[in-house]
Amino acid sequence: MKAILIARVSTEEQREAGNSLPAQVVRLEQYCQRRSFEILKVCRFDERAYCNNRTEFDAIIDLIFGSKRKGLL
């Protein structure tokens, strides 16, 4: 199985509550390792869900659809 890891924070409270981007990535990588998932890409971004310009998130969606068309996922 293949995986694209997505770590996101949107508030200072999340960053301070042990949900920083590096902490999320470590947990996601450990999960994939336990399940023998191949990590295709690690995406990290600080972006609110309720904003008009979600460039990082949109790039991930494009990556997923592009990978599916190419048969990578």
| DSSP one-letter string for 4-70 | EEEEEE-SHHHHHTT--HHHHHHHHHHHHHHTTPEEEEEEEEE--SS-S--HHHHHHHHHHHHHHHH
pLDDT of residue 35: 98
- Considering the entire predicted model, what is its pTM? 0.72
pLDDT at 38: 95
Q: Please report which confidence band the pLDDT of residue 73 belongs to, taking 50, 70 and 90 as the band edges.
A: low
Give the start-to-end residue ranges of the domains of the chain: 2-70
CB 10 within 8 A of CB 49: yes
- What sign has the CA pseudo-torsion 12, 16, 20, 24? negative
For residue 70, the model assigns a pLDDT of 72
Reported as a single tens digit per residue, the pLDDT across 10-62 is 777 776 776 788 889 999 999 999 999 999 989 988 766 666 677 778 888 88
